[in-house]
Amino acid sequence: MQLTDAEIREILARRKIQKRQRQRRRRRNTLIALLLIIVLGAGIYWFIGHKGKLGKKGSGSGSEEKPKAYTGEIRGTIFIDPGHGGMDSGSDDDKDRYEKGDTLKLGLAVRDQLELLGFKVGMTRTEDIQVDRTERGLMANKADAQLFVSIHRNKADTGGDGVEGFIPKKNDKESRMLGENIMHFLGRAGFTERSIRAGTLQSTNDDYEENAAASMPSVLIEVGFLSNAADNERFDMNLDRNARAVANGIDLTFMEIYEPEKAEAYKKVIEAADAASKDVTGKVTTATEELAKATGSMLPAKRESTGAGIDPQAPAPEGSDDE
């Protein structure tokens, strides 16, 4: 049958309307889909962010979230001495890196960690100034500090890496405990453990001025060698972890001397970690690290090799320069 012009126009007009309606529907569907994608995306983003935060809290890394401030009673007073300062820049790496800067950086970080553990912390210096070495020990006496830790870094002409410490020549058990605990925790943080020695680098019958002046258990600890690139990297990359290690060594020693009931529980955790790591020859195992995470601290290395007795005076690294 033949359509009239009017009928054809009407059909075309109707088709146009239908087409427009289809387009409108399509546009509306696209808009809804877009909205859904945005809402879903935002939801996933929030979820991942939230989960991430929770995970971090669990691992105790504390790099982004500030750890809770200590609100209990002050447990005691610790004195931290960042070695050298001012005109006395200490050792260097033969370039523009100086011991005095490293010791201050670590010293301040250790102070922060100790405060979180409930200690009042005194500092011999908090900026780049010169302080007499005997005066540093006397400052600790004046503050009635219970432990004194002088932070240094080592240097050798050839070879040499890791941590070593010097305690008073009288070689008292408590100073030795302090030095060894700090060294063991730093060992867990990746440094080689050398030895804790009574006296000075040159003589067992001499004392570093800080150790001679301080009347409480004390140690002068050398946190790695400035002359060793790997030690410098360990020092820089893990500053917080190293600070926690030093603080944990101090914390454990404080418990052993002044809070023995706490020390027992803490030591059990350490023993469990050591037992768990026995399967894997001498290495820090996942189990150990998990335990460390669970206790929010780093665990010291196994202690079989280091009794409370006198440590064999390990040979000095060639050209070792501890001032």
Binding site residues, Zn ion, CB under 5 A:
83, 90, 152
Question: For residues 163 and 150, what is the distance between their CA atoms, to the nearest angstrom?
Answer: 13
Least Å distance, CB 222 to Zn ion, is 7
Question: For residues 304 and 282, what is the distance between their CA atoms, to the nearest angstrom?
Answer: 12
Least Å distance, CB 224 to Zn ion, is 12
Question: For residues 16 and 81, what is the distance between their CA atoms, to the nearest angstrom?
Answer: 87
Cβ-based nearer residue to Zn ion, 201 or 287: 201
Cβ-based nearer residue to Zn ion, 199 or 300: 199
Contact between residue 150 and residue 83 where contact means Cβ atoms under 8 Å apart: yes
Least Å distance, CB 151 to Zn ion, is 9
Cβ-based nearer residue to Zn ion, 152 or 244: 152
Question: For residues 42 and 154, what is the distance between their CA atoms, to the nearest angstrom?
Answer: 52
Cβ-based nearer residue to Zn ion, 100 or 188: 100
Select from 177, 127, 169, 190 the least CA-distant residue to 149.
177
Long-range contacts of 130-136 (CB under 8 A, 24+ apart): 130/85, 130/86, 130/87, 130/88, 131/85, 131/86, 132/209, 133/208, 133/209, 133/210, 133/213, 134/209, 134/210, 134/212, 134/213, 135/213, 136/81, 136/209, 136/210, 136/213
Least Å distance, CB 270 to Zn ion, is 30
| Locus of tokens 């706490």 | 262
Closest-CB residue for Zn ion? 152
Question: For residues 280 and 294, what is the distance between their CA atoms, to the nearest angstrom?
Answer: 20
- Token duo for residue 290: 């998990």
Cβ-based nearer residue to Zn ion, 152 or 184: 152
Cβ-based nearer residue to Zn ion, 152 or 188: 152
Least Å distance, CB 220 to Zn ion, is 8
- Token duo for residue 110: 């250790």
Cβ-based nearer residue to Zn ion, 155 or 188: 155
